[in-house]
């Protein structure tokens, strides 16, 4: 078995342990649920980048699909990133979410983890006012 095949198998095994092993994979404050063939992991804002790196590096979710936000009145903005691991005839989908308060809507930019997040962060900033620290150009 090649090194690449071993990494893919290890990532698939880690993904298959979720949502039950969410705290082992994403940390003590993470929660997860699975519905309609989509695994959703919620993490604190301070763990946002770590969770995205974990998704990419440990779960094999190298495909960045989209990032956006949902305005939750009275709570804040729920920022969501949808990523996937594409395998031979399989797709493992993962939604990573966090919430930032309306009056402090700031997260670190994910573009060092997923370069494709640049445009999505810019659009999320324009639509919701969420700032992404480290983003090189948040204006449209």
pLDDT tens digits for range 70-125 = 999 999 999 999 999 998 788 999 999 999 999 999 999 999 999 999 999 999 99
Model confidence pLDDT, tens digit, residues 19-61: 999 999 999 999 999 999 899 999 999 999 999 999 999 999 9
Distance CA 19, CA 9 (A): 18
Q: Compute the average pLDDT of residues 115-139.
A: 96
What value, to the nearest 5°, has the Cα angle with vertex 113 and ends 19 and 92?
35
- The average confidence (pLDDT) of the chain is 95
Judge whether residue 131 has pLDDT over 80. yes
For residue 139, pLDDT beyond 90: no
Question: If one looks up domain 3-130 in CATH, what number appears?
Answer: 3.30.460.80
CA distance 114 to 74: 30
What are the two backbone dihedrals, phi and then psi, of residue 61, each rounded to the nearest 5 degrees? -85, 75
| pLDDT at residue 82, as a whole number | 99
Say if residue 1's pLDDT is above 70.
no
Per-residue pLDDT at 73: 97
Any idea of the CA torsion for 79, 40, 83, 10, to the nearest 10 degrees?
140
């Amino acid at each position: 078995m090649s090194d690449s095949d071993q990494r893919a198998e290890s990532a698939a095994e880690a993904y298959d342990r979720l949502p039950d092993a969410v705290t082992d994979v994403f940390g003590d404050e993470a929660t997860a649920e699975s519905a309609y063939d989509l695994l959703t992991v919620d993490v604190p804002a301070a763990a946002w980048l770590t969770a995205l790196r974990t998704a990419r590096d440990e779960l094999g979710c190298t495909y960045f699909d989209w990032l956006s936000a949902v305005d939750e009145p009275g709570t804040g903005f729920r920022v969501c990133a949808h990523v996937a691991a594409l395998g031979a005839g399989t797709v493992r989908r993962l939604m990573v979410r966090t919430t930032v308060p309306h009056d402090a809507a700031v997260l670190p930019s994910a573009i060092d983890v997923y370069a494709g997040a640049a445009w999505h962060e810019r659009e999320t900033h324009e639509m919701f006012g969420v700032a992404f620290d480290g983003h090189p150009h948040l204006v449209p």
